[in-house]
Structure 1
Amino acid sequence: MSEQTFITKCTTRGVFTIELAIIALFMSVIILFTADMVIKQSIQGMLDRMSYSAVSVLKERTQLYNKDEEMDRKQVEEIDKIVQTSLARTMPQFRPSLYSSYYQQIKFEGNPESPSIDVIPPITEGSKNSACKPPNQLKNIAVKLSPITNEGDRAPLFQVTLCYHTDNWFGQLVGEDYSWIRSNSIMLGR
């Protein structure tokens, strides 16, 4: 074998090795991104179902409690305990320290154009939970969402925001934070 043929074969192997390394790195990033998105979408679906169920129970709590009773922390804690138990049952990796929730009620007392808002802050207080906030201020859009009832008042609105802190695999790779998964549900009251 001549020296020229030997150099050509070594160069070809070197180029192939470099190309293989680049393709393997690219494929690893795609697999990491896909795995991260699948996990986050699964948790998002669970949170969506739970936030909708929680806002339904919050709306219908007048059937469980005194009809004129205001939403209070005790009622919200009972609802939130049910939500956490359901999440723990459907999500084996669920940890309450990574979970946070906000429960809001908008009422129109007196002036149908000026709502008042009751917010029950997060049930689970933790350093990570400070990043979980409702995605919008319901008070700013409440007049547009709430219809006027037969009695001439506006119907109350309820909003439940559930958050769960997840690993940030892909985000760490690209220097972003995609760790919070948030689900928000709004419902008209009776």
Structure 2
Amino acid sequence: MSSIRASVHQQQGAFAIEMAFVLAFLVTLFLFSADLSQQVLNRAKLDRVSYSLVNLVKERQRFYAEREPLSRADFLQIQEIAARLLHKSTAEEQDQFGISVQSLVEGTQVSFSKTFAGDTPCVPDNNISTLSELVPENDAGKRFPLYQVTLCMTSSSWYDKAIGQHLISATSVMPGR
């Protein structure tokens, strides 16, 4: 009987130590999950904004006096709209995202981009010229224009630091009318 009491008496601190390890693991797991969910929300926001911007660029007839080719002034307007949609109003906040807009009109490619976080370029996964097979034709054989908008943001999450990635990007491609 005394050996049982001695054994129980020696085990009293073990539960507290095990509980500390389990709680530390659960708190780390919770913070990691919250961090990942924040990254998913940021990616979803970039996807929505890039899709909205490519639709704006696509609607050349309504918004840009039926001009199909992109100009530098058009790009600056699109950049300003992107900043507003991403809630980046100050110059410091605007340095946190980059944008690349490309068009392919009658075989001619035009590209504009804005760097971010110093001199980090915002580069789409695929150049628009490699997507030329997506360009539809009308009955008369005229090829429609193709537009691509890519948005990039820096990421400050623990997960991205763990895998060595600090960039979130979203690309949307759309043929014009």
Relative to the length of structure 1, the TM-score reads 0.78
Q: What per-residue deviation string (whole Å, max 9, x for no partner) do you get for residues 41-75 of structure 1?
A: 22222222211111111111333334346201211
Identity %: 29
* Local SS of the residue matching 2:163: coil
Alignment-derived partner of residue 72 in structure 2: 73
> For residues 155 and 13 of structure 1, do their structure 2 counterparts lie closer, same or farther at Cα, with a shift above 3 Å needed?
farther
1:129 aligns with 2:127: no
Q: In structure 2, what is the equivalent of residue 161 of structure 1?
A: 150
Paired residues for 1:61-140 under 5 Å: 61-68=60-67, 70-88=69-87, 95-109=93-107, 116-122=108-114, 124-127=115-118, 129-130=120-121, 132-140=122-130
1:5 matched residue in structure 2: 5
Aligned residues: 175
Tell me which amino acid in the other structure corresponds to 1:88: H
2:19 is aligned to 20
Letter in 2 for 1:5: R
**What is the Cα deviation at residue 106 of structure 1?**
1.5
The one-character-per-residue Cα deviations of 1:10-69 (angstroms, maximum 9, x if unpaired) are 3x2343234223322321231122111221122222222211111111111333334346
Q: Structure 1 CA distance, aligned partners of 2:14 and 2:119?
A: 47
Q: Secondary structure at the match of 1:181?
A: strand
Separation of aligned partners in 1, 2:68 and 2:4: 91
1:40–1:6 Cα change, 3 Å = same
Q: What is residue 180 of structure 1 aligned with on the other side?
A: 167
Name the amino acid aligned to 2:78. Answer: I
Give, as a single letter, the amino acid of the residue that structure 1 aligns with 2:42: I
SS of residue in 2 equivalent to 1:95: helix
- For 1:32-43, list aligned pairs within 5 A: 32-43=31-42
Q: Deviations over 1:110-130 (max 9, x none)?
A: xxxxxx4211022x4432633
Q: Structure 1: 5+ residue runs without aligned partners?
A: 110-115
Once residues 171 and 164 of structure 1 are traced to their aligned partners in structure 2, the CA distance between those partners, rounded to angstroms, is 12
Letter in 2 for 1:99: F
Give the letter for the 2:54 counterpart: V
Instruction: Please give the root-mean-square deviation of Cα atoms over the aligned residues, in Å.
Output: 2.7
TM-fit CA distance, 1:150: 2.2
- The one-letter amino acid of 1:51's match is S
